[in-house]
Amino acid sequence: MKLRVLAAMSGGVDSAVAAARIAEAGHDVTGVHLALSANPQSHRTGARGCCTVEDSRDARRAADVIGIPFYIWDMAERFQRDVVEDFVAEYAAGRTPNPCLRCNEKIKFEAVLDRALALGFDAVATGHHAKVVDGVLSRSVDPGKDQSYVLGVLTREQLSHAIFPLGESTKAEVRVEAAERGLTVADKPDSHDICFIADGDTQGFLAKRLGSAEGPIVDERGAVVGSHQGAHGYTVGQRKGLHIDRPAADGRPRYVLSIEPVSNTVTVGPRAALEVTSITCVRPLWNGPSAQQDVTVQLRAHGEVYGCRFEERDGALVIDLDRPATGVAAGQAAVLYSGSTVIGSATIDSAA
Amino acid sequence: MLPEAIEAMTEQLGRVGNASSLHAAGREVRKVVEEARETIADALGARPSEVVFTSGGTEADNLAIKGLFWARRPRKRVLLSSVEHHAALDSAAWLADSQGAQVELLEVDEQGRVHPDTLRAAIARDPGDVAMISIMWANNEVGTVQPVQALAAVAGDHGIPFHSDAVQAIGQLPVSFAESGADALTLTGHKIGGPMGAGALLLARGVTPVSVQHGGGQERDVRSGTLDAPAIAGFAAAVRTAVKEQREHFLRLTGLRDELIDRVRRAVPDVVLNGDPVDRLPGNAHFSFPGCEGDALLMLLDARGIECSTGSACSAGVAQPSHVLLAMGAEAAAARGSLRFTLGHTSTHDDIDRLIEVLPAVVERARRAGLS
């Protein structure tokens, strides 16, 4: 069946090849570049950031090569509100958000998808490395590039309108294909980090937004061992940059165990205290086939996978891990898999 | 391009020689350039010596605005209408940012027109300090025609150089440089069926802007750079044809445009026509569609084979609410939901039929998609 497909084109190699594949498959494809910054930089510097003027030109050039119409949609206000402000608010609340996941959930597969459907499109295609077959999400064949984790928060309804044409290919294959298709973005560097923090200095960005306020760094027993300039500058599991003068009693390195924004307190302790086996999550979402046996969970992007059992209690989801995990931060997503298939996800609230 | 322009241009493409050279080949090329100059001068009520060739409208606007400001130092004030093209607005903005100019944007009425009284009052605030004035002949977005002659007369009363960007007006409206009273006038080839990359600044005798680009001083010592003789030949042929056919073109397009406006209003009753309903460019129909995003309308119409335009795009291609509509007092949302339909030589009743056939459904759909 010929579909009317809106291909989101970032200006990178993945989304260009994705759009080309759908067009070649005979669908009626329109390329759209999402302008996410009200004041875009003119050029990319290295692998950081996206949504520069150069990126929008690269996307347009790719659309021209593929031979599809191309437009730019201004999503800057929505992005600012739903992704950037949310990112800041989450840090202010002592959690560690994943803005890419939020962008997929609120921008690409909500604001953009809703608009596309209203305008008569059937689906939105992106260059994510993941598979979606009959509305069921699963991992890419390229384990190093798999992005099913950051898509795990999409609802069944959102997934039913999503097309990920790259799921069966490795990144290396995508680059080769881009070159063969004459897409000049073939050797463009991958983007990393957080696109709206162009210089990569997340702490500096947060300090500018949230200000600084001196607070205590305490150990597990509550004894003050140092001070900090704002709890939002810390992430659970962090070891470096604590600036603690007094060594721990056992002389072992200390890690951030928890962040308490109201009292502006950062608690530190030994690595062993970071280990958790029980994770409590909120807002569970079931977007795949149901499964109870042999379920695994992923707790951060490109993170390790743990065997687990899970249970819903009073609207919360409690996940028991087969072996301890460290650095589990509130605000991150727990995505549950059966084999390589996503069965659901939830937002981490606490861990013990 | 007009066939006359293609013929005139291609005839020159095989020729060698530089119009500034003294040898025979150079003289031949110079002849082509000088005949083109005479043709353009003749068509637009100017003297040949008043034609300064440029690479197009943007360069001509830059030369007029920056060059006249510099020539008139230490005067600081630069007066522009608030609905100018970006080539003019941004030239002035740069003067303000880095050259100490004091740029004042003249208010327009709801139809986008600058009243001579507005200009008079602005000058009167400090007449001795006004370096130059720039007000376009007709607006590229909403089509409104400015009272150029009256405005130039106000400037003339104070001896202040008056520039007008007439890119949109040539071939659409009667344009006489001499009768307009302007000191400088911008035109470009590609808007009138000529080649891209060729334009001119008409400069009255005795009006000498400081150069923007320096070099051989080929054009009256005001503009340097080897002339593109083939493009200039094509440009001149386009000016001659466009001006010769202007009246007939005006009458035909005005009829079609009024039909389009009338039928769009009937098809979408709450549509708003922007600009002067009568005194506007003959091929221009500009509307606001309440509750719609202009981009969505454009995309849906394009998918149905109808090409139109939403105001101006910024560098990232993100549609900004049109500064023209905002200056006319429109709300930002209304400005974003605006579309321009331009009729030209090839436009027919059938094109309007086709538009009216799809427009109600397209507007309905765009309304559902809403404003993002």
User: Taking CA B318 as the corner, what is the angle to CA A43 and CA A124, rounded to the nearest 5 degrees?
Assistant: 95
Per-residue pLDDT of A73-126, as tens digits, reads 989 889 999 999 999 999 998 899 999 999 999 999 999 999 999 999 999 999
Which residues of chain B neighbour A33 with C-beta distances below 8 Å? 317
B109 and B192 share one domain: yes
- Between B313 and A198, whose confidence is greater? A198
* Residues A153, A164 share a domain: yes
Residue A43 banded pLDDT, cuts 50, 70, 90: low
Beta-bridge mates of residue B339: B287
Binary contact (B296, A56; C-beta < 8 A): no
User: Of B244, B259, B292, which closes a domain?
Assistant: B244
Whether residue A216 lies inside any domain: the answer is no
**Per-residue pLDDT, A46:** 46
Residue of A nearest to B302 (CA): A69
My answer on whether B330 and B354 are in the same domain is yes
Token couple for B191? 């808007």
Say yes or no: A135 and A35 in one domain.
Answer: yes
Do both B187 and B297 map to the same domain? no
**One domain, residues B114 and B169:** yes
Residue set of the binding site of A for ATP = 8-15, 34, 127
pLDDT tens digits, residue range B68-107?
Answer: 999 999 999 999 999 999 999 999 999 999 999 999 999 9
- B209 and B351 in a single domain? The answer is no
Residue B19: pLDDT over 90: no
Same domain assignment for residues A168 and A56:
yes
> Chain B within 8 Å of A75 (Cβ-Cβ)?
yes
B372:A60 CB<8 A: no
Do A47 and A160 fall within a single domain?
yes
- Asked whether the beta carbons of A190 and A47 are under 8 A apart, the reply is yes
**Residue B315 pLDDT more than 50?**
no
Same domain? A266 vs A288: no
Task: Tell me, yes or no, whether B239 and B276 share the same domain.
Answer: no
What φ, ψ does residue B73 adopt, rounded to 5°? -55, 150
Nearest-angstrom CA–CA distance, A299 and A284:
14
The CA-atom distances, in angstroms, between B32 and each of A113, A194, B27, B55, B223 are 57, 58, 9, 17, 19
Over 50: is that where the pLDDT of A48 sits? no
* Residues B123 and B55 occupy one common structural domain: yes
Which are the contacts of A180, defined by CB distance < 8 A and separation ≥ 6? none
Residue-wise pLDDT for A277-304, tens only, equals 999 999 999 999 998 889 999 999 988 9
Picking from A33, A39, A42, A73 by the largest number of B CB atoms within 10 A of its own CB, the best residue to mutate is: A73
* pLDDT at position A49: 46
Q: Give yes or no: residues A118 and A130 share one domain.
A: yes
Same domain, B219 and B279: no
Rounded CA-CA distance B211/B68 in Å is 9
CATH code, domain with B302? 3.90.1150.10
Based on the fold, state whether residues B187 and B252 are members of the same structural domain: no
The CATH number given to whatever domain includes residue A54 is 3.40.50.620
Res B318 pLDDT > 70? no
Interface test with B, best of A36, A70, A72 (most B CBs within 10 A): A72
User: How far is B55 from B33, CA to CA, in rounded Å?
Assistant: 14
Six-digit token string for A23: 């067009």
Q: B366 vs chain A: nearest CA distance in angstroms?
A: 6
Contact list in A for residue B316 (CB cut-off 8 A) is 35, 40, 53, 56, 72
Cβ pair B299:A119 closer than 8 A: yes
Please report whether residue A194 resides in a domain. no
Same domain, A53 and A151: yes
Contact A300, A265 (CB under 8 A): no
* Residue A212 maps to a domain: no
Give the integer Cα–Cα distance in Å for A266 and A253: 15
> Which residues 35-54 on chain A approach chain B with CB closer than 8 angstroms?
35, 40, 42, 53
Q: Is residue A210 part of a domain?
A: no
Token pair belonging to B331: 């709300």
Which residue from A124, A73, A4, A111 is spatially nearest to B295, judged by alpha carbons?
A: A73
Contact indicator for B295, B371 with CB cutoff of 8 Å: no
Q: Does A161 share its domain with A308?
A: no
* Domain-located, residue A8: yes
B227-257 residue pLDDT tens = 999 999 999 999 999 999 999 999 999 999 9
Instruction: Please report the beta strands in chain B, taking only residues with DSSP state E, as ranges in sequence order.
Output: 51-54, 77-81, 102-106, 130-134, 162-165, 184-188, 199-203, 272-273, 284-288, 338-342
Query: Which one of B307, B312, B315, B372 makes the best mutation probe of the A interface by having the most chain A beta carbons within 10 Å?
Result: B372
Query: Which CATH number do you get for residue B33?
Result: 3.40.640.10
Note whether B317 contacts A76, CB cutoff 8 Å: no
pLDDT band, residue A40 (cuts 50/70/90): low
* DSSP 3-state of B55: coil
Are A140 and A180 within one domain? yes
Boundary (domain end) residue, out of A213, A245, A273: A273
Same domain, B208 and B280: no
Confidence of residue B15 (pLDDT cuts 50, 70, 90): confident
Domain boundary among A273, A302, A336: A273
Verify that B16 and B151 share a domain, yes or no.
yes
Whether the pLDDT of residue B313 is over 60: the answer is no
What residues make up the domain containing B212?
3-244
Mean pLDDT calculated for residue range B176-185: 98
Same domain assignment for residues A41 and A145: yes
Which run of H or of E encompasses B353? helix B349-369
Q: Cα–Cα distance between B29 and B26 in angstroms, integer?
A: 5
For residue A305, the domain's CATH number is 2.40.30.10
Closest CA to B342 of B281, B265, B251: B281
Instruction: Write down the mean pLDDT value for chain B.
Output: 94
Residues B116, B257, single domain; the answer is no
A118 contacts on B by Cβ (under 8 Å): 365, 368-370
Q: What is the pLDDT of residue A51?
A: 60
The better pLDDT of the pair A204, B139 is held by: B139
The residue among B202, B227, B244 that closes a domain is B244
CATH of the domain at A260: 2.30.30
Per the residue annotation, which of A51, A100, A103, A281 is the catalytic one?
A103
Read off the pLDDT of each residue in A197-220 and give the average, rounded to a whole number.
88
Min distance A181 CA to chain B CA atoms (Å): 25
- How many domains, chain B? 2
State the total domains in chain A. 3
- Cβ atoms of A338 and A309 within 8 Å: the answer is no
Q: Domain range holding A259?
A: 222-273
- Please report, as a single letter, which amino acid is at residue B288: S
Q: Is A138 domain-assigned? A: yes
Of the residues B193, B213, B244, the one at which a domain ends: B244
Query: Would you say residue A69 lies in a domain?
Result: yes
| ipTM here | 0.79
CB–CB contact B317 A60 (8 Å): yes
Q: What is the C-alpha separation between A12 and A191, in angstroms, rounded?
A: 8
In chain A, the residue whose alpha carbon lies closest to the alpha carbon of B361 is A119
Q: Is the domain of A93 the same as that of A172?
A: yes
* A217 lies in some domain: no
Domain boundary among A256, A273, A290: A273
Number of other residues whose CB lies within 10 A of the CB of residue A312: 13
Q: Are residues A229 and A283 in the same domain?
A: no
Report CA dihedral (A27, A30, A31, A32) to the nearest 10 degrees.
-130
Q: Give the one of A53, A76, A119 whose C-beta lies nearest to B300's C-beta.
A: A119
pLDDT score of B316? 46
Q: Which of A215, A252, A254 is nearest to A233 (CA)?
A: A215
Residues on chain B touching A43 (C-beta within 8 angstroms): none
- Kindly report which listed range (A335-349, B10-24, B277-291) carries the lowest average pLDDT score: B10-24
Q: Residue B371: pLDDT band by 50, 70, 90 thresholds?
A: low
